[in-house]
Amino acid sequence: MEKELWKQEKEEILERYELSMERIRTMHKEASVAAPFYDYFQKMASFIEKMDELAQAAGREGFADIPLEELQRQNRELYEDVAQEAYQESYACPETAVERLGEGYGQFLSFLYTELRGMIVWAYEQRFTDLTVAAELFIEIYNAFEGGMPKLQSLKEILYWHISDYCDVWIPNRIREQLDPRLSFAKDIICQADLNDVRYLYRFGEYITENELEISWFLAKLPQEEIEAMASTFTEGYRKGFENAGIDLSRKRTVNIRYCLGFERIVREAVGQFEKMGLKSIIYREARHSINRRPQGNPGYQSTAFSKQYLYDHKEDAALYLDSKLVERRLSVLRAAYEECRELAAVHAGPAVMEIFGEQPFLPRNCPAALRLSEKQRELNVRYNSGAGQLANQYIPGDERSFTIIAYPIPEIGPQFPEIFAETVKINTLDYHLYEELQQKLIDALDEGESVYIQGTGCNRTALTVGLWELEDPKKETLFENCVADVNIPVGEVFTSPRLKGTSGILHVSEVYLNELKYLDLEIRLENGMVTGCTCKNFSSEEENESYIRTNVLFNHETLPLGEFAIGTNTTAYMMAKTYDIGAKLPILIAEKMGPHFALGDTCFSWAEDTPTYNPDGKRMRAKDNECSILRKEDLSKAYFNCHTDITIPYDELGCIRVNCRDGRTVSIIEQGRFVLPGTEELNRPFDAMA
């Protein structure tokens, strides 16, 4: 069906496409652009010509029959200029571009370089409108340089109107990708290809590394019943999420699967299992247009990053064009797009996410030449995200959708990958009935508290008091959710939305990875539940450290509330991390179960606070709001922050967790990294086994 949709689009734009390609082919014969820009435009013209050849080849029958060695050569050629160390020498690197092309011009043309790279995947998908529009932008910029050096302001105006004019194409297409099961490019490959022949991986158009190849080979060797069991853990967690939240899944028709390439055998089985639930799977790619990309992460299927520094340097490329008029236009277009897809949005159930872990930890290098949002633009970005979040909730209400997340290792984790994979499968399928009972004992003690005190040990400087809400009816209500393996796999935490008043102190972790970025000596200061200060030791200057946290943890907000406090109970996962020395490589999904964690941003219940939630013992969850989220009843823009970042203190940095009870008693939960609450000693067994 997708081929037919894009085929019609191609016919409508074919004349413009051919004219643009004809113009670009003539550039090699011209010398109308002077140094130092000549080399840049010649390289980009050659790249676009290759994209034309790729688009024509991808549209022909027999494209998938190319030998593996040739497919690998082609894939390396497509990404060789930006992959790993090569990135630093390419025009995609702002620092290199500025060095060769000059201040201002370097940043602008580096942005253009990265935007044009989206043509790779558009060629594979046969999206000729996207190809044409990108080529036309290149021609317009090229024309501006003919005969002399244009003013930077004129270049910015070209780009601004290009973005403004075409956002009513790109944004609706993105919403349609997320909601319309007829757009099935990836799903068709997953469900129709021979997954025993790794050549199928090269049909996606993504960067293919040993990770993707080896995980595909690895899964191909596993018995079908193991694949079915892994897929069932994933899909059943999704179904249970709806069941436990009291949401009628039978009213839904689509689910979005997000995953990383190489895991197609599990995904294919999951597609079939979701079909039996009455759900068609939607599998869309990470966004390539700058207008659709988000600094806090981009959902969609992907492969191993060809360069994480590349992605980091271009996180805020919108600084070239973002202003208040464009924000309003984007929100207007977004509303119209949702309205056009209203019926599809109403039956969308939400995401099912399969994360990976095991990549080498990434410590970004500060690139002064990279584009960064101004203070005004940061405010505008927050405003847009808030408006976009409200629109999404209007058309796909939070109390009518759910999700699930699971994670698996990739071969890059090291030579013990098979053993770690097997251990991860075990962790993902731990006996949730046992954890349900143990966690209930924790909750019974926590429900007596008016606050919880958390203190670090050794090098950890944490000294934090977390305020708790008061139960109106302790026999029927609870403050902490008993989280077993449904939406959030693996099992192993109890969590609450803290009362902000009375939540104050210091949260500190010596080393942590948040959203794939490394933080050294991270310290967050809180007063009445709101961030009042932050620092780390990543960079030499305090200004750089604060900016790093503000951009990547606070997501450009002046402050954020403490949206969640939780106690992780999965000591089995913790000891796996210790055994294989992979703690730094674990995703937050698993890491958050390995100690107390604290989330900055929205609560776990954002957009669904009024939907009743019950623990297995029948008690209703009382603590779903905080003093920020409750403002939704007055002004939605003040209630939600559209982010939620978990920070975990590992058990070996934990001095104590103690409940300050309302009657003046103090109840210890953990002392020196061990569970000491009577009835929870079973959680220490993995520690004892390693002693």
Between CA 412 and CA 306 the distance in angstroms is 14
Domain membership of residue 651 as a residue range: 430-690
Between CA 76 and CA 64 the distance in angstroms is 17
Q: Where are the beta strands (DSSP E) in 594-650?
A: 596-601, 620-621, 644-648
Half-sphere exposure of 83 (CA within 13 A, CB side): 12
Residue 413 lies in a domain: no
- The confidence score (pLDDT) of residue 691 equals 58
The verdict on 277 and 129 lying in the same domain is no
Residue 409 lies in a domain: no
- The confidence score (pLDDT) of residue 8 equals 67
Tens digit of each residue's pLDDT (9 = 90 or more) over 477-495: 999 999 876 788 999 999 9
The verdict on 215 and 131 lying in the same domain is no
Q: What does each C-alpha distance from 205 to 64, 123, 319, 356 come to in angstroms?
A: 12, 8, 28, 20
Q: Where are the beta strands (DSSP E) in 473-547?
A: 477-478, 481-483, 493-496, 499-514, 517-527, 530-535
Residue 164 lies in a domain: no
pLDDT of 657 > 60? The answer is: yes
Mean pLDDT, residues 376-385 taken together: 92
Structure tokens at 17: 């496409």
CB 454 within 8 A of CB 205: no
Q: At 11, is the pLDDT very low, low, confident or very high (cuts 50, 70, 90)?
A: confident
Q: What is the mean pLDDT of the chain?
A: 94
Structure tokens at 614: 């019950």
Structure tokens at 145: 């340089």
Q: Which residues pair with 598 in a beta bridge?
A: 565, 647
Residue 227 lies in a domain: yes
Tens digit of each residue's pLDDT (9 = 90 or more) over 225-245: 999 999 999 999 999 999 888
Beta strand pairing status for 348-357 and 596-601?
unpaired
- The confidence score (pLDDT) of residue 584 equals 85
The verdict on 398 and 441 lying in the same domain is no
pLDDT of 662 > 80? The answer is: yes
Residue 415 lies in a domain: no
The verdict on 260 and 307 lying in the same domain is yes
- What is the CB neighbour count within 10 angstroms for residue 292? 18
CB 36 within 8 A of CB 101: yes
pTM of the model: 0.92
- The confidence score (pLDDT) of residue 2 equals 58
Mean pLDDT, residues 14-30 taken together: 95
The verdict on 400 and 485 lying in the same domain is no
> In sequence order, what are the residues at sequence separation of 6 or more whose Cβ sits closer than 8 angstroms to the Cβ of residue 257?
267, 270, 271, 274, 281, 282, 283, 301, 351, 352, 353, 354
- What is the CB neighbour count within 10 angstroms for residue 52? 19
pLDDT of 1 > 60? The answer is: no
Between CA 484 and CA 336 the distance in angstroms is 39
pLDDT of 218 > 80? The answer is: yes
Residue 175 lies in a domain: no
- The confidence score (pLDDT) of residue 63 equals 65
What single DSSP character describes residue 171? H
The verdict on 583 and 437 lying in the same domain is yes
The verdict on 400 and 534 lying in the same domain is no
Mean pLDDT, residues 439-450 taken together: 97
SS (H, E, C) 520-533: EEEEEEEECCEEEE
Using a 10 angstrom Cβ sphere, with 0-12 exposed, 13-18 middle and 19 or more buried, the burial of residue 352 is buried
Selection from 621, 623, 625 nearest residue 602 by Cα = 625
The verdict on 397 and 351 lying in the same domain is yes
Structure tokens at 425: 């499968």
- The confidence score (pLDDT) of residue 5 equals 60
Domain end position, chosen among 404, 419, 447: 404
Between CA 447 and CA 659 the distance in angstroms is 9
- Give the angle 118-121-127 at the CA atoms, nearest 5°: 95
- Give the angle 459-465-468 at the CA atoms, nearest 5°: 145
CB 494 within 8 A of CB 468: no
Residue 163 lies in a domain: no
Domain end position, chosen among 150, 171, 202: 150
- Domains: count for the chain: 3
Residue 270 lies in a domain: yes
The verdict on 398 and 435 lying in the same domain is no
The verdict on 346 and 437 lying in the same domain is no
What single DSSP character describes residue 471? P
The verdict on 310 and 390 lying in the same domain is yes
- Give the angle 18-337-261 at the CA atoms, nearest 5°: 70
Give the residue carrying structure tokens 């014969």: 29
Mean pLDDT, residues 180-200 taken together: 96
| Amino acid symbol at 651 | Y
The verdict on 578 and 674 lying in the same domain is yes
- The confidence score (pLDDT) of residue 388 equals 94
Mean pLDDT, residues 308-322 taken together: 95
pLDDT of 690 > 80? The answer is: no
> Going edge to edge, which strands form the sheet with 280-282?
280-282, 254-258, 348-357, 404-409
Collapsed DSSP state (helix, strand, coil) of residue 230:
helix
Q: Where are the beta strands (DSSP E) in 556-595?
A: 562-568
Q: At 621, is the pLDDT very low, low, confident or very high (cuts 50, 70, 90)?
A: very high
Torsion of CA 547, 548, 554, 559, to 10 degrees: -30
What single DSSP character describes residue 148? S
Structure tokens at 311: 């992605």
